[in-house]
């Protein structure tokens, strides 16, 4: 991915104003390239010079205002132009390369049927891989697209289809959009259509998944209609981009992307096997999230990437809100508290922490790195607080004023704050300074002194890290929970408390009151902060948590407990004991899944090699108890089975499930569960290459191919490890998803001795991977390939040596710095 600096973008925007891209693509060739014939119309300052992003394989012709542009003008991923007129027309005819890294025009061949599928992903600065473009968010333009494709293919774009004549597709001009939002799909996609409130709806998926889309389309359309209705209730401007299409594409780098008129999702969101209700809730949330972008990001777009939060924080907040308010997934905020917010808190405490709204993002490479838990989850949590402070009516009024003022244009943090301040009558500058402009997180602790059975004093203390000493105003709930005589738990009282930035707030109204069995800070999950319980409340958690009815309160407790273990304030053994006590009776499947996944990760890194087997055995026991208790066919049964498979060493039981023996009633050992079992058996060394190849022959599909890659990498065999490592580091022909899944299967705690040499090789050889790949694919691979299970001071020494290289790629530097900090925490916890 070429890099564009903010300074270059500002200069270019002062020179040019783009009107239209007329794009004509020919996709009928048989080689590795496609033909791109593009006309770009733009105004400019007469006599000035500028450049476009452009990465051709071969140029047939280039003219500017009818005059040939020399071939030498196209170099270094840019097309340099001089002698501009006030009105300009650039015409380029070139061959461009298909990609296999999820960027540009990605080409994929489905192993199930040999069909080829394309999708276009120009994000962040990849437009030049398809067309010459002024590739920055504030140079919006109209896109008019024509495509020549094989006759049996389907083609869809942002714009509405105008005509199809055999192989030729023509689409209507779009509204003014940014270059990174222009997309298309092409291939023998299967289509399902509908309509709602005058808006044409469509769904697309690979032919191999047609039956699964047909079965799931009613649910997806229902979620789409419910979300559209809720957004139309909130916003004065109706959905602004004509049709609303949703495509599920293979090997998509993101979970989804908010292209106006044609949202693209990773096609794993059309599952072919049984899924849990939380899996379905996550899909509902993503649908609502991407729809929120139609207003936040597409209708009104950030001027530059330092205001990324105007896109992602709002979409994250509204995704959870609309899911909770408009769909059957009413507990979406519990999932947010348990899963998404934890992601934000982890990201906010790493060396790469940054403000939600940084004052400067110097280039597009840094912008890519800011697509993290801070820009998404922390920003959403902060917005949730803001709505509680301003009131929903004022908040929505400000948003609608913002949309009216900047529709089809660009905006900044200052623009939005101005609209919200005017609508609410509050000056938001102080709020924005501490919550949006400053990094890191506060910790809230309950300080309790007792006088016999009563409280003598209850105070909430607020602290901040020494390097980020900002204390903030917080509004929190404080819940007092008591155990009933029948063993249940009752909420006696919930206080709404305003914490100022002094650092210590006394809850005077609790003085002299009977002490609760559990005093829960941030009950209701109103603020963004780390929470620590007082000693008596923490001691009561194992007894009270299994009997607490409020799922959001349970999520707050689980999140606080997990975070305390991450910080080394609680031992991982204590967490495992709590999982064994409370998880088998947990009713919220999202909590079950997140607790099992998070605890497994902590056991693998925080438990010593000597204590890990026992901890893992207790985790398997907890999953087994839940499996026995969950009703047949219930989501918790599937979640428990997945957790058990990942933790158990009972290979005979796993082989029995593959053979259909002693499988719990209601549990389907379908294609994906079979692969999960085989993956665990491969890790344990009892599923060799023959077993993996046999399963792949049984499941010759995209998912089967990906599972097989992961399983091969997981085998404790020297030759298998070397082949996997070579593929990860050196095989640029391997697609983005296959490379990522190979990396995800490579590191196994059970195989530390075999893997020891690769710990050092990561730090000496990963820079080579960065030269072979770029962008988000490179970041994903570098992250999952990190030797996180090789917890030792020696691994940290390797990291320090690599980080001392001043020329280290920015993406790899961030991955190593953050991963090394995680290892620092693991070593402290072990100590």
Which residue numbers are catalytic?
Answer: 290
Tokens encoding 616: 């893992």
Token pair belonging to 202: 């469509």
DSSP string of 375-431, one letter each residue: IIIIHHHHHHHHHHHH-HHHHHHHHHHHHHHHTTEEE-HHHHHHHHHHHHT---HHH
Structure-block tokens of residue 70: 């020399």
Report the distance separating Cα 143 and Cα 179, nearest Å. Answer: 9
Q: Cα separation of 123 and 174, whole Å?
A: 18
- Cβ atoms of 361 and 367 closer than 8 Å: yes
Q: Which of 614, 557, 611, 609 is nearest to 583 (CA)?
A: 557
Beta strand 33-44 with 16-26 is: antiparallel
Q: Which two tokens stand for residue 403?
A: 């949309």
SS3 label, residue 567: coil
Euclidean distance between CA atoms 569 and 562, whole angstroms? 10
For residue 779, what are the contacts with CB-CB under 8 A and spacing of at least 6? Answer: 368, 369, 811, 815
User: Cβ(403)–Cβ(236) under 8 Å?
Assistant: yes
- Residue 68's nearest CA partner among 55, 58, 77, 81 is 81
Helix (H, G, I), strand (E, B) or coil at 274: coil
Contact status, residue 765 vs residue 729, Cβ threshold 8 Å = yes
Judged by DSSP in three states, 756 sits in helix
Q: How far apart are CA 266 and CA 524, in angstroms?
A: 32
Round to whole Å and give the CA distance between 741 and 736: 9
What are the beta bridge partners of residue 118? 107, 186
Distance CA 396, CA 402 (A): 10
- The three-state secondary structure class of 753 is helix
Cα 9 to Cα 52: distance, rounded to the nearest angstrom? 11
* C-alpha–C-alpha distance, residues 168 and 163, integer Å: 8
354-375 exposure pattern, b = at least 16 Cβ within 10 A, e = fewer: bbbbbeebebbbbbbbbbbbbb
Indicate left, alpha or beta for 47 from its phi (over 0: left) and psi (-120 to 50: alpha).
left
Q: Residue 581 phi/psi, 5° resolution?
A: -80, -40
Alpha-carbon distance 464 to 666, whole Å?
49
């Amino acid at each position: 991915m070429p890099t564009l600096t903010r300074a270059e973008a500002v200069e270019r925007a002062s020179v040019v104003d783009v009107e239209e891209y007329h794009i004509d693509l020919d996709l009928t060739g048989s080689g590795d390239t496609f033909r791109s014939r593009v006309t770009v119309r733009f105004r400019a300052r007469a006599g000035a010079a500028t450049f476009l992003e452009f990465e051709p394989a071969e140029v047939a012709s280039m003219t500017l205002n009818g005059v040939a542009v020399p071939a030498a003008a196209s170099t270094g991923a840019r097309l340099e132009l001089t002698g501009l007129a006030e009105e300009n027309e650039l015409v380029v005819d070139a061959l461009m390369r298909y990609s296999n890294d999820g960027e540009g025009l990605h080409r994929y061949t489905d192993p199930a049927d040999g069909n080829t599928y394309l999708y276009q992903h120009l994000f962040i600065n990849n437009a030049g891989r398809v067309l010459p473009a002024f590739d920055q968010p504030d140079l919006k333009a109209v896109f008019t697209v024509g495509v020549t494709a094989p006759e049996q293919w389907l083609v869809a774009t942002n714009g509405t289809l105008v005509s199809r004549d055999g192989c030729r597709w023509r689409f209507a001009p779009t509204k003014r959009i940014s270059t990174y939002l222009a997309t298309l799909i092409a291939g023998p996609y299967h289509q399902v259509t509908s309509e709602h409130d005058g808006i044409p709806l469509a769904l697309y998926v690979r032919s191999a998944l047609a039956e699964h889309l047909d079965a799931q389309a009613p649910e997806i359309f229902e979620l789409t209609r419910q979300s559209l209705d809720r957004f139309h209730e909130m916003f004065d401007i109706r959905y602004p981009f004509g049709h609303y299409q949703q495509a599920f594409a293979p090997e998509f780098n993101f979970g989804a992307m908010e292209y106006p008129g044609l949202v693209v999702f990773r096609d794993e969101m059309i599952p072919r096997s049984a899924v849990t209700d939380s899996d379905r809730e996550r899909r509902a949330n993503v649908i609502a999230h991407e729809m929120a972008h139609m207003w936040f990001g597409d209708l009104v777009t950030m001027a530059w990437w330092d205001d990324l939060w105007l896109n992602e924080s709002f979409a994250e907040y509204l995704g959870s809100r609309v899911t909770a308010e408009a769909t059957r997934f009413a507990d979406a905020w519990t999932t947010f508290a348990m899963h998404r917010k934890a992601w934000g808190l982890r990201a906010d405490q790493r060396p790469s922490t940054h403000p939600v709204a940084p004052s400067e993002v110097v280039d597009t490479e840094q912008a890519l790195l800011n697509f993290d838990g801070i820009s998404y989850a922390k920003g959403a949590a902060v917005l949730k607080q803001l709505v509680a402070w301003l009131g929903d009516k004022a908040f929505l009024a400000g948003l609608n004023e913002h949309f009216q003022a900047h529709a089809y244009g660009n905006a900044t943090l200052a623009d939005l704050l101005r609209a919200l301040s005017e609508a609410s009558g509050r000056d938001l500058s102080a709020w924005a300074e501490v919550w949006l402009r400053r990094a890191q997180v506060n910790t809230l602790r309950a300080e309790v002194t007792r006088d016999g059975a009563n409280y003598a004093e209850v105070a909430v203390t607020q602290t901040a890290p020494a390097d980020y000493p900002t204390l903030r105003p917080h509004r929190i709930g404080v819940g007092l929970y008591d155990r009933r005589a029948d063993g249940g738990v009752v909420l006696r009282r919930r206080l709404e408390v305003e914490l100022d930035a002094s650092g210590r707030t006394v809850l005077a109204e609790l003085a002299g009151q009977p002490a609760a069995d559990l005093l829960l800070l941030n009950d209701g999950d109103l603020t963004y902060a780390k929470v620590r319980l007082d000693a008596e409340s923490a001691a009561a958690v194992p007894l009270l948590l299994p009997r607490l009815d409020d799922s959001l309160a349970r999520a707050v407790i689980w999140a606080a407990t997990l975070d305390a273990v991450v910080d080394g304030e609680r031992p991982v053994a204590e967490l495992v004991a709590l999982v064994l006590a409370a998880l088998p009776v947990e009713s919220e499947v999202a909590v079950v899944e997140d607790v099992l996944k998070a605890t497994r990760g902590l056991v693998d890194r925080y438990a010593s090699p000597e204590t890990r087997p026992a901890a893992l055995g207790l985790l398997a026991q907890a999953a087994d108890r839940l499996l026995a208790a969950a009703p047949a066919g219930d989501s918790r049964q599937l979640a428990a089975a997945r957790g058990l498979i990942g933790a158990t060493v009972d290979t005979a039981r796993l082989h029995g499930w593959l053979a259909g023996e002693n499988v719990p009633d209601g549990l389907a050992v379908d294609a994906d569960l079979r692969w999960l079992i085989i993956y665990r058996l491969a890790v344990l060394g009892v599923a060799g290459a023959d077993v993996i190849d046999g399963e792949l022959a049984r499941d010759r599909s995209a998912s089967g191919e990906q599972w097989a890659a992961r399983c091969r990498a997981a085998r404790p065999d020297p030759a298998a490890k070397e082949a996997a490592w070579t593929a990860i580091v050196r095989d640029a022909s391997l697609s983005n998803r296959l490379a990522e899944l190979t990396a995800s299967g490579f590191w196994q705690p059970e195989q530390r001795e075999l893997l020891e040499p690769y710990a050092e090789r990561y730090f000496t050889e990963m820079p080579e991977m960065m030269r072979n790949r770029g962008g988000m694919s490179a970041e994903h691979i570098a992250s999952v390939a990190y030797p996180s299970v090789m917890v030792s001071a020696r691994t940290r020494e390797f990291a320090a040596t690599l980080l001392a290289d001043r020329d280290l790629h920015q993406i790899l530097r961030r991955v190593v710095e953050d991963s090394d900090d995680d290892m620092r925490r693991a070593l402290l916890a072990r100590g």
